[in-house]
Amino acid sequence: MDFSKLKRQVILKGGKILDPIKNTIKKSDLLLENGKIKALGKINSNKSTYLIDCKGLIITHGFCDLHAHFREPGREDKETLESGSMAALAGGFTRVCVM
Q: Do 51 and 69 fall within a single domain?
A: no
Please give the sequence-ordered ranges of beta strands (E in DSSP) within 1-99, or none if there are none.
10-19, 24-33, 36-41, 50-53, 58-59, 63-68, 93-98
How much is the pTM? Answer: 0.69
Query: Could you report the per-residue pLDDT of 42-90, keeping only the tens digit for each?
Result: 999 888 888 999 999 999 888 898 998 888 787 888 888 888 888 888 8
Number of structural domains (the chain) is 2
Same structural domain, 11 and 49: yes
- Contact by Cβ (8 Å): 48, 8: yes
Q: What average pLDDT is seen over the chain?
A: 87
Instruction: Name the 3-class secondary structure at 46.
Output: coil
- Residue 46 and residue 84 share a domain: no
